[in-house]
Structures are given as C-alpha cells and as structure tokens.
Structure 1
Amino acid sequence: MSDSARSSNPSEDISATVESSESAPVKTSGLGLMYGLSAGHGIKHFGQGALLVMIPSIRATLGLGDVAIGGMSSAQSISSGLANIPAGILTDMFRKKIAWILLASMLMVGTGYIIIGVSPVYWALLIGVVIVGFGTSLWHAPAFGTLAARYPERRGFAMAAHLTGAQIGNTTSPLIIGFLLAGTIGSWVVFSGIDWRWLAVIISIPMFMTGFAVIAKFKTAGAESTGDVSLREYFGSAKKLLTNPGVLGMALLGALRGAIHNSFQVFLVIYMREELDYSDTFVGVHVALITMAGIISTPIMGNLSDRIGRRPVISFAMTSMTVLIFLFLQFDSGFAMTALIAILGLFFFSVMPIINAAAMDMIDKGSEGSGTALMFSGGAVIGSLTPIAAGFINQENGFHGVIIFAGIIAAVGAALSLILPMKAKV
C-alpha cells in the first residue's frame, strides 16, 4: 500500500494528509506522532534502566571488578556512538521509512537482552551489551529528527515530551526490576525473586512488541518530508553540519552531560548496594528518583526554552547540576542523600532535550536526522572514556572521588553553556 493511501485512512494515529504525489505537501497538525514515539521511547528506556539495576547482581555472579563494570558502560557507549552514523544517514536519506528504522532499533535491543541473559562469561555479556547499546541509539536520529521536522514551532516541547517518555521508562524500570530481583517490598510482599538472567530474557518481550507496534501504527512517520535524497546530497548537507560551530558546541555540551551520567550514576548504584548495604528494591527506588522529578520538569523546561530562549534554561540547569553533585560529598547517606537525588532529578536528564533543540535551531531543514546523530555521537565519544576513568577513581578513592570527577565535568559544562553560540530567541 502506498504512503498516500495509508495517510488518508481515518484510522491512522497521525493526522497527516499526503497527496498522491511523493513530493506533495503534508498537513501535520496533530500530536499523535509525538505521543506515540514518546511512548515507544519510554519502553526502550525501560530496558536501559533495567540493565543499570541488574549490575550489582551481574557483578556478584561473574565476579567483576570496578574497571570491568566501567568497561560494560564504555562498551555500551561506544556501540551507541557507532550506531549514530548509520542512523543519521538512513534517517536523512530514507525519510519516509522512519518506522522501519525504529523497528530495527527495538529488535536489536530485544536480541541484545536475550544474549545478556544466556551469556556464560563476561565477554559474551559484553556482546549483548554492545547490541543493546547499538539498538537503543538507533532510535534517536529517526525519532528526534522526525519530531524536529514535524513540529518546528514547538521543537523544545516536542523533544521534551519525547524525553519525558524516556524518563517514565527510566523511573518505572528500576522500581519494577529492583522489586523482581529482590522479591520483596518491605514485609508486605515476599517471594523468592527472579534471577537476573531470566529477567534479561523477559525484558526482550516488550522490546519486540514495541517494534512491531511502531511499524503497524506509525508507517507515515516522516510524511512531512518531500522525499528521499541522494548520497551526494546527503554528504553535502553533512559537510555543512560538521563545519557549523554552534552545532558542534551543542554536541560537546551534550557529551559533557552524558559523561556526568555515565560516570556518576553507575557508581552511585554500586555505592548504595555495597557500601550502604541497600537492598535491590531500595536501590531501585533511588535510581527511579533520579528521573521521577524530571517527568514534571522536562516538559516545563522545554516549553520555557521555546518562550525565553535555550541559553538561560540550559545554563541554569547545568549550574544547578554542578552544585547538587558536589553536595553529595556532604550528604552521602540517609534521608539527606535521598532528597538530594530527587532534586538532582529535576535537571539530570531534563536539560538534554533543550540542548538538542538548541542544536536543531541551527541545522538546515532536511538534516535533522544527521544533526541528532551528531549530538549523540559526541556524547558517546566522551561517554566511552569516562566510565573507565570513574572505575579507576572509585577503585582508588571511593565514591567521593567519583563525585569530584563528575562535579568537575558538570562545572565545565556550566561554564561552556554561557559562551557557546546559540540562536537568539526571536
């Protein structure tokens, strides 16, 4: 069935009307695509959050050290970075096949989790982690790029809504996975718990289901495009992108935010489980707190950035993140630490869609996919190194050393947010 026939069907979730010509204009006033992709993004991030909570159990089963744990995060980051290259190319060259790229993304995440679940040794586990990393990153360029093109006047809000879906997934995942691993919620619910290997295989099921749901419901994603582009046209646009100082600056800023995430959050989980002796359920609750507040703050920040500009929102968030991370040196246990984690959650992930929107403001129409790929590639390059560095620091200086390391990175990002070029609010 043709794209035009599909989009004229009143049962379609996307309110877009595509004329019989491939290059005809499209009416795209509805928000169905935004909410649908946000839901899919949430399920994808449910899988990502699950792996984080399973790390202490994986560590205990396979006898892994701090550097090996950091190596897992680095392997995932490197594969995510590599995935951005084909994701960006495919998104901009085949703009009307976005749903198929998203299907491939979810199939890879599901397959990676099956491999993680059956892996007998560390190196086999890494293969699964790499496939999960590649699959999760394959989602970003087609999804973010399509939303940037579909909703140019509400770009900050659209990207924030998409990340809100991710934060819902990141919030519910540690709560559910932590409970299933521990088998307890206080003294109210008690059972034997589920082994992390079985959980990994079970997690693959919703990943596969989401991929097939996307291809069934959102085949017209990318319908606002005037058509595919040639390889020559693509590389011409990509060359302009790579020489745009504003976009490169936002890629660096996004990379620093990702480095904070990769270095701080992994060893916060290890610290709570091994030093504070928190149960898997309680660790899951704290990991959920990191993203829970962001469910509310992310769309607010996105909408605010559309109104007053990107720079003040980004700078405030990065500065707040710096101060809050250093406060963990003083408040490293008990209720004070719990409250601090919740407050950090207001900014930890919420600033990323605003950084992405700032980059999209400076990208030529038709290059949104490659622009998104560049943003996430920058994060992968720096993010692939920081977890190993944090592993060495945690091994020698403990979690307080990791706090200082992450705080310094956040401070550099806060300073750069004040001077990097951004498009002024018109």
Structure 2
Amino acid sequence: MTTATAELAPERSLLPERSLLDVWLITIGHAFTHWYPATFYLLLPLIGNELGLSYAQIGSILTCQYIAGAISNVPGGILVDNVGRKGLLMAISLFWIGIPYLLMGYTDAYWLLLTCAALVGIGNNLWHPTAIPLLGNLYPARRGLMMSFHGMAGNVGDAVAPLVAGVLLTVLTWRGVMAVNVLPGMVMALLLLLYFSKPQPGDERVGGQRSAKSAGDILRSFGALLRNRTVLMLSVGSVFRSITQTSLLAFLPLFIARELGYSAMWIGACLFILQAAGFLAAPVAGHLSDKMGRRQIIVSSMTMTAVVLLFMALAGRSVAFVFFIAFLGFFLFAIRAVLQAWLLDATPREMAGTGIGFMFGMQSIGAAIGPFAAGVIADHYGLAATFYFLAGTIVVANLFMFFTPMPERGGEAVTTKAATT
C-alpha cells in the first residue's frame, strides 16, 4: 500500500477494543442528558401559566441556556481534547445538568430560572465533545451507525421523559416533578464515575499526548479547523437546523396545550410519538449514510421535514396536526447522528472533541435565537405562524448541506492538508 493510499484509508481506532458495556453506559448516559430538558419542555406551559410569562419570556429561558452553550462549547471541546478522564467529564456533565433543574423547582424568580438555564447550557456542553469522539474512535468504520445508537439514546430520553412526567403530574405539581426528575440522572452519573474511576488505556495514550500541547499549538490547530470548509459549512447549516429543532421542542407542547386543549398526559404522548419516530429512523439513516453517503441522506430528510412543517401549519387545530407529528419526528431526528458522523469524517482525530464542540457551539447560537424569535412571532401572529418560520429555517439549513464538500473518510486527508497549510 502506498503512502498516499494509506493516508486516504479510514483510520484505525486510537482506543483498544472494549466491551459493549462502555457503549451501553455512554448511550444510556446520553439518554439522561436529554431526559432533563425533555421534561422541562413539557412543564413549560405550566411554568408559564403559574408565573404569568409571555411566549417571548418562555422562549428567553431557553435562549439563556443556549447562549451559555454557545460560549462554552469550544472551550469544552478543547478541554476534552487535552485532558483525559472521559468518564469523569461525562459524570460531571450529568451532575451539572441535573442540579440546576432541581433548583428551578424551588423558585418563583424569573431571573433565577434564566440563571439555572444558563448553567444547564454549560454542563450539557461537556457531554457531546467527550462521548461522540470516543464512540467514533472505537468504531471508525461504522461511525454513522454508532452515532445513530448514541442519538437513539437521546430519542429514548426525549420520548420517555414526557410520558413519565405526564403521569407524575397527575399526583405531583410541576415543582415536585422537577425534584423527582433529577434522581435517575444522578444515579447514572455515579455509575459512570465508578466504571471510569481510573484512567482508561485510551485516555492515557490520547490524553497524555495532547496534554503536552502548548497554548500556541492549540490555537494553531483550532485555526486550521476553522479553515476546513466542510466543518464550517456543516456547522453554519447546523445553526439553522438547531433553530428549527429547539423552537419546535419549545412551542409544540404550547400549541398542543393551548390550541388543541390537550392535557399534560396527552401532550406527553404526542412528544413520545415525535421522539419514537426519530428513534426508529436514526439507525436506518446512520446505516444508509455509511453505505450511500452523508449528504444524500441529510438533504432528503431535511426536504421532507420542511414539507411536513408546512402541512402542520396548514392543518392548524385539526386532528391532522397530531397525525403529522410522527412524520416530523422521523425526518427531523433521523439526521442528527449523520451530521455528527460527517463532521468526524472531516475532522483530524486529535481535534475531534474541539470539532464536535465547535459544531455544538454553533448549534447553540441557533438554539439561542430560535425560541426567542419563535416566541416573538407567536406573540404577534399566533402559535401556528411559528411552523411557517420553522419550515423556512430548515430549508436554509438544507442549502448549506447541499453545497458542503465531502471529505475523505476518517479525517486523514484533512490532517495532512492542515499540516501543510
């Protein structure tokens, strides 16, 4: 095999093969990073009613969370790339997400809700730059599929949490649900901490190598990453997709509650349908992207997402609106893992955490803009108008994906090119 051929071949994992227990722990932990906010989305109508908040004020709670996320994502990714102890970082992330949600249940102050939301945004940004590159390095030839497993766990958390919260609301107040809700994630954080209590072989090798980098080396590597057109196009496109997803998760429960008049339990059931459809779609999309290419799967799914959102806007208060929820979940959530796999394909291995952190930071910008913008639209034109807005943002995201160049798989070519720049 020639040197040129070797550079273009998919990389071998930096980490030794491990038992599937590692994969299970990481994916279940990811489910709980979604469990907390999924419960919070369901409770937002109740919180808004009790505190007398406008749609814009409700959206601003999520905006604060994602502004903090946008600021902290890249530093979090750099931290992951230059410090080992992946299990410790994942455990800290779960603690850091859960505790602010617990505190929200004990306050009537709007400013404290905003502060806790910002803390959640910071904690959440430790998880993805840690877990996603770890899984990608364990299974480099099956990145799309492995990212889909990780994403499916997020769908499980998003789907089951509203159902559980809806049932709990029949016997507890929203504040009681917030208190009970924190317990499963804390248990999972302890399991991660115990299982990864000692530095893992991959941490010693990878973390030790990267901890020797100077600040100048880190800045130069980050600059090379920013010159990577694939990474930039994916990240900017993800901003608009994030506007769509985050605004939908914030205002879909509000529409179902206030326009359709459904109870909390039925709202939870609708959100379960949304996420369950995404759960079914994720492994299919991940596997097909490994075989057919990332762009084809993403562009097709985003196109269908825009079409379904338009039909939902036209359906208004009819029963057809609920019918479209499953189709929306199938196409919208199918591609989260494919986007992450595409970014890992384009990112040098030693910059994987920073690359994921950068993309999630850009997504946080979109997530910060989306709920507030959708809230303003809902205040002025009604909740149904937000679905036209979201259809437009996913179309813009799709344009970026269509023109994104395909990298060589594994990021080896990117590494070589960056080194010679």
TM-score, normalised by the number of residues in structure 1: 0.88
SS at match of 2:346: coil
Does 1:300 find its partner at 2:300? no
- CA distance in 1 between counterparts of 2:150 and 2:270 reads 23
CA contact (8 A) 2:302 2:394 kept: yes
> Unaligned stretches of 5+ in structure 1?
1-23, 184-192
Query: In the TM superposition, what is the alpha-carbon distance from 1:425 to its structure 2 partner?
Result: 7.1
- CA distance in 2 between counterparts of 1:300 and 1:367 reads 28
CA contact (8 A) 2:340 2:356 kept: yes
- CA distance in 2 between counterparts of 1:26 and 1:386 reads 38
Query: In the TM superposition, what is the alpha-carbon distance from 1:83 to its structure 2 partner?
Result: 2.8
Q: Which moved more, 1:64-73 or 1:119-128?
A: 119-128
- CA distance in 2 between counterparts of 1:265 and 1:48 reads 10
Does 1:130 find its partner at 2:114? no
Match of 1:17 in 2: none
User: Share of identical aligned residues, percent?
Assistant: 27
Match of 1:108 in 2: 96
Higher RCO (CA-CA < 8 Å; seq separation 6+) = 2
Match of 2:180 in 1: 202
Letter in 2 for 1:379: Q
Match of 2:368 in 1: 384
SS at match of 1:276: coil
- CA distance in 2 between counterparts of 1:41 and 1:348 reads 19
Match of 1:52 in 2: 41
CA contact (8 A) 1:35 1:161 kept: no
- CA distance in 2 between counterparts of 1:76 and 1:222 reads 34
Query: In the TM superposition, what is the alpha-carbon distance from 1:207 to its structure 2 partner?
Result: 2.0
SS at match of 1:366: helix
> Against the structure 1 CA distance between its residues 73 and 26, is the aligned structure 2 distance closer, same or farther, given a 3 Å change threshold?
closer
Match of 2:32 in 1: 43
CA deviations on 1:156-194 (whole Å, 9 max, x unpaired) are 11111101001001000111112211x1xxxxxxxxx21
> Against the structure 1 CA distance between its residues 424 and 339, is the aligned structure 2 distance closer, same or farther, given a 3 Å change threshold?
farther
- CA distance in 2 between counterparts of 1:121 and 1:90 reads 33
> Against the structure 1 CA distance between its residues 25 and 368, is the aligned structure 2 distance closer, same or farther, given a 3 Å change threshold?
closer
Query: In the TM superposition, what is the alpha-carbon distance from 1:222 to its structure 2 partner?
Result: 7.0
Residue 401 (structure 1) aligned to one of 382, 385, 389: 385
- CA distance in 2 between counterparts of 1:25 and 1:363 reads 14
Query: In the TM superposition, what is the alpha-carbon distance from 1:298 to its structure 2 partner?
Result: 0.2
Query: In the TM superposition, what is the alpha-carbon distance from 1:265 to its structure 2 partner?
Result: 2.7
SS at match of 2:16: strand
CA contact (8 A) 2:281 2:333 kept: no
> Unaligned stretches of 5+ in structure 2?
1-12, 411-421
CA deviations on 1:123-152 (whole Å, 9 max, x unpaired) are 111122222222222211101121122221
> Against the structure 1 CA distance between its residues 335 and 74, is the aligned structure 2 distance closer, same or farther, given a 3 Å change threshold?
same
Match of 1:350 in 2: 334
Matches within 5 A, 1:1-400: 26-28=15-17, 30-94=19-83, 96-181=84-169, 183=170, 193-219=171-197, 223=202, 225-228=205-208, 229=210, 230-232=213-215, 233-400=217-384
CA contact (8 A) 2:16 2:201 kept: no
Query: In the TM superposition, what is the alpha-carbon distance from 1:87 to its structure 2 partner?
Result: 1.6
CA contact (8 A) 1:255 1:379 kept: yes
Query: In the TM superposition, what is the alpha-carbon distance from 1:234 to its structure 2 partner?
Result: 2.7
Q: CA RMSD, aligned part only? A: 1.9
CA contact (8 A) 2:345 2:409 kept: no
> Against the structure 1 CA distance between its residues 141 and 414, is the aligned structure 2 distance closer, same or farther, given a 3 Å change threshold?
same
SS at match of 1:119: coil
CA contact (8 A) 2:310 2:391 kept: yes
CA contact (8 A) 1:67 1:391 kept: yes
> Against the structure 1 CA distance between its residues 76 and 221, is the aligned structure 2 distance closer, same or farther, given a 3 Å change threshold?
farther
CA deviations on 1:352-403 (whole Å, 9 max, x unpaired) are 1111111111111111100110110111112211211111100111122211
Match of 1:4 in 2: none
Match of 2:8 in 1: none
Query: In the TM superposition, what is the alpha-carbon distance from 1:107 to its structure 2 partner?
Result: 1.1
Query: In the TM superposition, what is the alpha-carbon distance from 1:333 to its structure 2 partner?
Result: 3.4
CA contact (8 A) 1:53 1:284 kept: yes
SS at match of 2:396: helix
Query: In the TM superposition, what is the alpha-carbon distance from 1:422 to its structure 2 partner?
Result: 2.0
Q: Which has the higher helix share?
A: 2
Structure 1 ranges of 4+ moved more than 6 A = none
- CA distance in 2 between counterparts of 1:425 and 1:321 reads 27
TM-score, normalised by the number of residues in structure 2: 0.89
SS at match of 1:347: helix
> Against the structure 1 CA distance between its residues 358 and 332, is the aligned structure 2 distance closer, same or farther, given a 3 Å change threshold?
same
SS at match of 1:226: helix
